[in-house]
Structure 1
């Protein structure tokens, strides 16, 4: 294989740049040309491309976001859009494609694979909602960003004797909420994978007040409930002074942690090696700490299993 391309798709995640860097430099090390596709599948259909050199990826390993930009593309979900993407890739002599993103990005990659374009996917999403891998690129950074904010919120909560509800990202996965809830000593954690009882949350708050507790932190994953609505309910049913903070997209930004940089570098390099070995239609990720490739079909059909032991432990420690 002499010429490959790389794109980022879907939501951005810290560490994507480190993965791009690893793809480009590993490919150049092996004497291959690399093309960067801008704005994901949308840019692919519009032929938004640029040649990638060693200098193209200098000084980006520490930067959040993605230098290739990203976008969601409804048109690429249709056969006509996929055929257009294949046409563009072949027009530019591209023989393999690395796609960095989440589930939707992988479905686009699988479509190209089935049309005859070798593709490898790299899991990059802060939600950590991709099965068949230990962790996704960006998750560790998002958790550290959220916990830093929550530590600061706890300072003001203590100063004012307040209850704070903090909404974190996670539409379908509560991993960010579980990790920051456990690491931040939250009184309650609400996630989409587990039922919750707001009356029990209230009873826990009241028990804390009874023993002299000055503040409380409730962590809510956006996929479980609206932090604002939870805050209103708690205020109305307790009489406590409740404040709500929605962390939002702040969790996607910032310099990636060392863990995310190392993971992204490993997976970016592995993706190139797989293409060189004529492997296609797979996601590369770590499983039990070992870099492995898994068929897209397996990724799509494997139920995602969050580590509910962390959720249970957070509840035990917040008694």
Structure 2
């Protein structure tokens, strides 16, 4: 999770650089507080990222009241910044206003109000290429900033729960095995990341083609066909993989973690909360597709897409939640001194796999 946070932090800092350039060039039309805001927010983001990267796994047992208070203040600041990022839509509003002003300018080119139109262009970014570059970068990287504050808030909440925390008697700590190239090569798990990377690259290509062609009349039908065909090819494979993972969990007889774990509890809560929106969207899309009925090729594709997306979301979330409650190191044994029962061919020697 720290690597993902670093990635979002890098994109967020880059977004703040674009935001600084855009606001400085538009300072005649922006309040002073809004121009200075990214210059104050960027250092806060950098310091918070270092705090989470260096101390996110610490369980502090000294100065607990001060630590909890500081973490809660930082968490509140993150939530406010995230809420501000979600509700603020000034960039898109400014783009729409510039389009309307441009149409009004062309429509009133012969009028006597040319002085007022020249004054209006001072607050338009479309007249400067550098300003357009800064605004486009700010617009594209804006979602990464929202995700960063949400993820940082979650990690701060886990740190707050870990202050003064001690392991319960029933829980056994384990250390995750670091994934290296040697383990990937010798463990035979190269196919999964390779196939996932290919699917990701294909998804990016499909997304770009869809965004480019969907607004063009001659390519609109092709854009929808590419979108549906890609998802109808990928989602059955994802559903089968999730189902196979659930079967492996049932056959492997691995011990479950019953101790209280705030990180796992937060992961499950966030997963369920994020999945509810997607599940509701897939369910109502399926109901709408069934009510309308398959009318033509696109109607049949939409019905199949809604059904498969609902099935894939259910299987995927059940598989992830089941995996979060499993101890990666402890397997159930039938008797004392017996070897671990595992469906994979592995030998154990003093707690290490060879």
TM-score between the two structures when normalised by the length of structure 2:
0.26
Which structure has the highest strand share of the two? 1
- Quick one: higher RCO (CA 8 Å, sep 6+), 1 or 2? 1
Which structure has the highest helix share of the two? 2
TM-score between the two structures when normalised by the length of structure 1:
0.28
Choose 1 or 2 for highest CA Rg: 2
